[in-house]
Structure 1
Amino acid sequence: MRKTAGLLSVLAAVAAMLVTTPSAAQAADRDPVVFVHGYKGGAWNWNDMIADFKADGWPANRLFAFSYDVFQSNKTTAAQLRSYVDSVRAQTGAAKVDIVAHSMGSLNSRWYLKFNGGTSYVDRWVSLGGPNHGTNLTPVCSWLITSCAEMAPDSSFLRDLNAGDETPGAVRYQTYWSSCDEFINPDSSTILSGAGNTGVGCIEHAWLLVSDPVSQQVRTLLKS
């Protein structure tokens, strides 16, 4: 009986290896993911979502949270993001990365794509509650902070960013927007021509970062 039980244990272990090894290999072959936080945020904003990615099989060495000075121009941040993506590609050996951005991170990452050569190095770009066409809340901060002024619907920054093709290159663009986002007004500001645009129901702006259904949708998208 002991020999039979031992044999069954060995067979079970081998079967587990056969099941998990291809999955792990597939996860290691996925594009690295660069997470870009929003206005007055930080890399820590992504702790919950990164934990979800890890639990879903993404290796820790394929997940990167980009930090930047939220008070500087989004153009400056875009140039820094270009260098960061280059370093991620060099570190991982990947040809391209996926970008997941929240709020204002959608703007500086889009500027990187459109004006800093990012379309050559990004496979998928995902926006959570991005003010892609501006928000009417900027008067409370635009007089003092450059990046805030750039989020005004009539800013020269957004006019340049949205002129012509809003989703240039072969990048696959996806936005997720909330019907009751208290910071992005109007809610439809997030929607981009040429992107997949998905409403996620009534979720507050910051909660887009920690919503389990949103996180699941993002992970499912990046697996496809």
Structure 2
Amino acid sequence: MLPRRALRSLLVAVTALLGTTLLASAAQATDPVDAAKALAAPGVPGANDWSCHPSAAHPRPVVLVHGTFADGTVNWVAAAPALAARGYCVFALTYGAQAGVPVLRAIGPVAGSAAQLSTFVDGVLAATGASQVDIVGHSQGGMMPRYYLKFLGGAAKVHTLVGLAPSNHGTTLDGLATLATQFPGATDVLNSACPACVDQFAGSDLLSRLNSGGDTVPGVSYTVIASRYDEVVTPYSTQFLSGGGVHNVTLQDLCAADISEHVAIAFDPVALHETENALDPAHASRTTCLSHG
């Protein structure tokens, strides 16, 4: 039997290799569904049923986009089954691997990650027969799709973008360092091999280009859900968007007792209920502290 340290190193290496292999498979696939499947997050309850066809009640598939250092599996263990139970076709990807960095995801350049999202959305549309998707993203996953919408033709393929604690106007190094402490090894990556971290610094070239000329693009509905207790994307008001079709929500205005911060908002039942309202405004109900998805 291998020594514990050697076994751990082997597992880390295999995980990194698997992530790199999946991204390479997605790049090489010629069928859009196969390319999307190569990016799909494994083992997410309620997500990535490629035989799912949207209903008349919920005609658009929901694509879930995780945040920095996380992946599509851990980020959506609460939201994916809740949305699936309401009758949505739900899909979750894992994106943003960086060569030589094991385990951690959503650390590659934001522009490259947006291209992976484009590949994933095309596959979801091909598999489901839908003409558009809705996107729900957390942290970087709420900001990065805006690059896809603005620069990669995504606006025609996306009806609604919901951002949970999105890094729309950037954060400070301290904020990303705070987040890094919650993921083993992430602090070292932040210091040396996380282009996405640099892209999310307030005033970065990428954010300056993304927000130049306005925060939104025509035809897309935007909802931003932020928490006053966010310790990563600060101040929390920088998460909000300006422009047509925007609905900005502060979690504590819905439930003053809600103390969810940057990570917890992705699992928060109040935030999930407000997300469901954004996805289906015709059947929206008042979000309160008693809301539970």
TM-score by length of 1: 0.83
The residue aligned with 1:192 is 241
CA distance in 2, matches of 1:185, 1:203: 15
Find runs of 4+ consecutive structure 1 residues off by over 3 angstroms.
24-27
Question: Higher Cα Rg: structure 1 or 2?
Answer: 1
Larger relative contact order (Cα-Cα within 8 Å, sequence gap ≥ 6)? 1
Amino acid at match of 1:107: M
Alignment partner for residue 36 of structure 1, among 65, 72, 87? 65
Of all paired residues, the percent bearing the same amino acid is 34
The residue aligned with 2:81 is 51
Unmatched 5+ stretches in structure 2? 1-53, 98-105, 178-189, 253-258, 282-293
Name the CA shift for 1:42/1:164 in 2 (closer, same or farther; >3 Å): same
* Stretch deviating more after TM superposition (196-205 or 83-92): 196-205
The alignment's C-alpha RMSD in Å is 1.6
CA distance in 1, matches of 2:71, 2:176: 23
CA distance in 2, matches of 1:162, 1:112: 13
The residue aligned with 2:210 is 161
> Any residues of structure 2 matched to 1:13-28 within 5 Å, and which?
25-27=55-57
- Any conservation in 2 of the 1:138–1:148 contact (CA below 8 Å)? no
**1:84 and 2:111 equivalent?**
no
Amino acid at match of 2:248: N
Q: Secondary structure at the match of 1:220?
A: helix
Shift of residue 139, structure 1, vs aligned partner: 7.2
- Any conservation in 1 of the 2:121–2:133 contact (CA below 8 Å)? yes
Unmatched 5+ stretches in structure 1? 1-23
Amino acid at match of 2:263: A
TM-score by length of 2: 0.64
Shift of residue 144, structure 1, vs aligned partner: 3.5
The residue aligned with 1:93 is 129
The residue aligned with 1:20 is none
The residue aligned with 1:132 is 168
Larger fraction in helix: 1
CA distance in 1, matches of 2:115, 2:55: 33
Shift of residue 161, structure 1, vs aligned partner: 0.6
- Any conservation in 1 of the 2:55–2:87 contact (CA below 8 Å)? no
Aligned residue-pair number: 197
**1:178 and 2:227 equivalent?**
yes
Shift of residue 107, structure 1, vs aligned partner: 2.4
Amino acid at match of 1:150: D
